[in-house]
Structure 1
């Protein structure tokens, strides 16, 4: 099952200021804000302002300026949260869930940045 972009998804509504958020950082191309259900002491979502469903959609179709703006905002959010190695932190994990197998809940590309504690193994293997 492929996702089509839904202009009524929660992140699109956040970008239109219809739903409030706890902004960490923002630039012309992306928005970083705290997750409402944090899985770590620091849990920030970074979303592009364009209509991209997934990482592969963003990587293939975003402009160079959008990709750079998104990536630089990730670095800014990591520094502001104090989890990056350059900002005295002990590290972080980034996750982008994509599609049904990736358990993507919102059809708008978003990158989770989680830190502030040891995150444990990346995946638990199941049969």
Structure 2
């Protein structure tokens, strides 16, 4: 295993000692509560859900996108009878404004609000389960 012979001898370089930590129960409980990774995860879930709700609300705004294309080709892209290198380019903008989508945006916002409320309840539940 890992290139080490199982028959090799070894000696310990230092001795492992146990030093008991003296701490009041209230301090230990408070330290354990502050350092709970599940609470950090729940708080992160709430931040994430708020961002998802913001994204769902942003679907009411128009979308603007742009493009650019630059082409070098042989034969010339403007005249296929010329057997020479030529270049062509295109650029453009497109804007879309959602008018009606069958209430999909509103339904998504309602769903994201419900998910946010559920993650907040999960955080409260995790907090209270520790104290019991």
Give the TM-score range, shorter chain: under 0.3
Instruction: Look at both structures and tell me which one has the larger radius of gyration over its CA atoms.
Output: 2
Of structures 1 and 2, the one scoring higher in RCO (CA 8 A, sep 6+) is 1
Calculate the TM-score normalised by the size of structure 1: 0.22
Greater helix content? 2
Scaled by the length of structure 2, the TM-score of the pair is 0.22
